[in-house]
């Protein structure tokens, strides 16, 4: 019985240490990226990541390729709070993306709106910025900035600034 208790303490300590290393160190970040690439069969590819999973985190390039769809983002900066996530809230101090490109083949199936926009948890993004977004090689927007606050059911965008071609918008939405 005593051996089982010691073994439980040793295994638990090792798992906690491994999780701390993965989330809290640069080398853990690199290992997590490698594991994510393997787990997705190579569909997820991340280049030049620095920081920690706990944040702040910088990624030069993130690519997802699957089922005819390709998504690429460059110049990503993410600063978020694990402590808030443990309380059921996603708290992001900053999410900055320099470029976002989405490529997917045309479809004869019409796009369907989601039944609702409910999120599984409350989300706050204090600073959100996207420099440029393209869809199938066509520019969608040149600049998006704002702040998002959501309790999971009701969402609010504040300090919204959007530049798309010759059109500039500013305001808020909920």
Tens digits of residue pLDDT in 70-90:
999 999 999 988 888 888 899
Q: Is residue 148 within 8 Å of 156, Cβ to Cβ?
A: yes
Does the pLDDT of residue 30 top 90, yes or no? no
How does DSSP classify residue 108?
Answer: S
CA distance 128 to 59: 16
Q: What is the pLDDT of residue 33?
A: 86
Q: Which two tokens stand for residue 62?
A: 């993130």
CA distance 125 to 37: 27
Q: Which two tokens stand for residue 118?
A: 């409910």
Q: What is the mean pLDDT of the chain?
A: 87
Q: Which two tokens stand for residue 128?
A: 């959100």
The set of residues, in sequence order, having a beta carbon less than 8 Å from that of 156 and lying 6+ positions away, is 148, 149, 150, 172, 173, 174
CA distance 50 to 140: 29
CA distance 133 to 72: 10
CA distance 1 to 76: 50
What φ, ψ does residue 4 adopt, rounded to 5°?
-65, -40
SS3 55: coil
SS3 16: helix
Helix (H) or strand (E) holding 24: helix 2-24
CA distance 102 to 71: 5
Q: Output the pTM of the full model.
A: 0.83
Tens digits of residue pLDDT in 86-134:
888 999 999 999 999 999 988 888 888 888 889 999 999 999 999 999 9
């Amino acid at each position: 019985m005593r051996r089982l208790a010691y073994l439980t303490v040793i295994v638990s300590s090792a798992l906690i240490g491994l999780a701390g290393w993965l989330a809290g160190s640069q080398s853990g970040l690199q290992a997590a990226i490698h594991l994510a690439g393997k787990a997705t069969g190579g569909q997820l590819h991340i280049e030049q990541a620095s920081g920690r999973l706990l944040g702040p985190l910088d990624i030069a390039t993130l690519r997802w390729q699957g089922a005819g769809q390709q998504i690429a983002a460059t110049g990503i900066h993410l600063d978020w709070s694990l402590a808030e996530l443990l309380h059921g809230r996603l708290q992001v101090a900053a999410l900055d993306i320099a470029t976002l490109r989405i490529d997917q083949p045309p479809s004869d199936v019409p796009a369907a709106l989601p039944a609702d926009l409910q999120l599984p948890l409350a989300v706050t993004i204090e600073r959100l910025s996207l420099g440029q977004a393209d869809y199938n090689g066509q520019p969608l927007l040149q600049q998006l900035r704002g702040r998002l606050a959501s309790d999971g059911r009701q969402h609010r965008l504040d300090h919204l600034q959007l530049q798309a071609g010759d059109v500039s918008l500013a305001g808020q939405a909920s």
